[in-house]
Amino acid sequence: MCLAYPMQIKEVKINSAIAEVDGITREVNILLLPDVQKGDYVMVHAGFAIEKVNREEAEKTLELFREYYKHAA
Amino acid sequence: MLLEEKLKDKHLIKKIARRIHVLGLNRKVNLMEVCGTHTYSFFRSGLNDVLSDYVNLISGPGCPVCITENLFVDKAIYLSKNKKNVIATFGDLLKVKGSLSSLYREKSNGANILIVYSPLDALEFALKNKDKRIIFLGVGFETTAPLVAATIKEAGNRKIKNFFVLTGHRLIPPAMEALCQDKNINIEGFICPGHVSAIIGELPYYPIVEKYKIGCVICGFEPVDMVLGIYTALKQIKNARPAVDNEYRRVVKKEGNATAIKIMYEVFQAGDAGWRGLGIITNSGLFLNKNYAEFNAENLIKTVIKEKKAAANCLCAEVVKGKITPRQCPLFTVECSPANPIGPCMISLEGTCRIYYEYRN
């Protein structure tokens, strides 16, 4: 499944980390994302963190969006 | 408003839909998505209604369970018949019928079938049950394959001898190419899968744009992501400028996840592989490298397993190619429903028929 959801890293261990979303914590494997740090947001799929969520880029997407609709009639 | 809420804002979505109207294409454009989660998000967000005048979003082969051939299920069932074997699988595959049976049916007949959320769960089970062989069914695209590879590496590092993988992983860009070559399908642009792209990055889509002049827009799954992605795809068509556009930059980097790619190709290699509905596609499947042969569940199969054809009246093969929509299948809702599914497209939560059924009204 492509289904992945964002969680925040609370604690980094060796090869795994504790991540949290909506008050639920779980251990996620970080073998695919070895340089992850406490506070990072990551996408989690099948027990693994697969990529970081770049909050700055997220804001840029929203800015772009606002630009587009500002010019819509 | 929180970031997550902003990405779902109906007000913003209606405004961008207006912007699509202003593009002035004046016809319904054929875009194809190749990700079950995109199929789902498109309907769940109501965009299928909002954008129905502007886009025909065709569901392609984006559901990994749906494109898994009977032969894979037949092999898993064969392995399940040995009392020493435990078959560990993602939940979706459980009810999929092979040539004669399903893992669900075998389970009710006493076979050891374990549903797992992660291949790591299967590895842990192997550690705790040394007297059994744990065989994990490796199904999924590039989002899943790297983590299965990482699990196999872990098994190697920890010298676990009773963990095996039956590999059924498939790669999306080769399937996209095969679809571009099919003269019977008219795709004007692709909406590319967000999390597959998080792994592989933007580069694998460039040959598709270069060879076929069909644009590739990488898209996230929130309603705002999808409407922005569709807008970008339509703008490319309006300006006759097909390109690779990344509309999911908060997760997808141009180079993808280099660590994940490295691990995936350390453990697996690409080879020709069969897809339900699409036949054999060059270099579209992942197979275990020689160094990891000890984990290959194929070595546990001591006989030749011959696949039989799917049920004659099941049209999943046409659905996964985007040739027909579920509504065009005579069995849809009549004989085939989630309660009584005939093919994998109705069984999998990401299956096109399953999603169309859920949003049929």
Contacts of B350 in chain A (CB under 8 A): 1-3
What ipTM was reported for this prediction?
0.91
Q: Which two tokens stand for residue B343?
A: 């093919």
Q: Which two tokens stand for residue B101?
A: 């049976």
pLDDT digits (tens, 9 = 90+) for B88-115: 999 999 999 898 899 999 999 999 999 9
Helix B145-157 to helix B258-267 angle (10° resolution) is 60
d(CA B205, CA B212): 11
d(CA A60, CA A64): 6
Q: Taking 50 as the threshold, does the pLDDT of residue B347 lie above it?
A: yes
- Does A48 contact B150 at a Cβ distance shorter than 8 Å? yes
User: How many C-beta atoms lie closer than 10 Å to residue B272's C-beta?
Assistant: 12
Which residue among A46, A65, A66 places its CB closest to the CB of B144?
Answer: A46
> Which residue out of B250, B266, B348 would a mutagenesis test of the A interface target, given it has the greatest number of A Cβ atoms within 10 Å?
B250
User: How many C-beta atoms lie closer than 10 Å to residue B16's C-beta?
Assistant: 22
Q: If we measure between CA atoms, which residue out of B65, B114, B108 comes closest to residue B85? A: B114
Whether the CB-CB separation of B92 and B354 falls below 8 Å is answered with no
State the pTM of this model: 0.93
Please tell me the distance in Å from A28's CA to the nearest CA on chain B: 10
Chain B residue with CA closest to A42: the answer is: B251
Q: Which two tokens stand for residue A23?
A: 């008050």
Residue B60: its H or E element: none
d(CA B187, CA B107): 41
- Does A50 contact B154 at a Cβ distance shorter than 8 Å? no
- pLDDT of A66 reads 66
The backbone torsions φ and ψ at residue B316, rounded to the nearest 5 degrees and listed phi first, read -55, -35
- Does A2 contact B225 at a Cβ distance shorter than 8 Å? no
Which residue among B140, B250, B263 places its CB closest to the CB of A58?
Answer: B250
Residue B242: its H or E element: none
- Does B250 contact A53 at a Cβ distance shorter than 8 Å? yes
Q: Percentage of residues in chain B with pLDDT exceeding 90?
A: 80
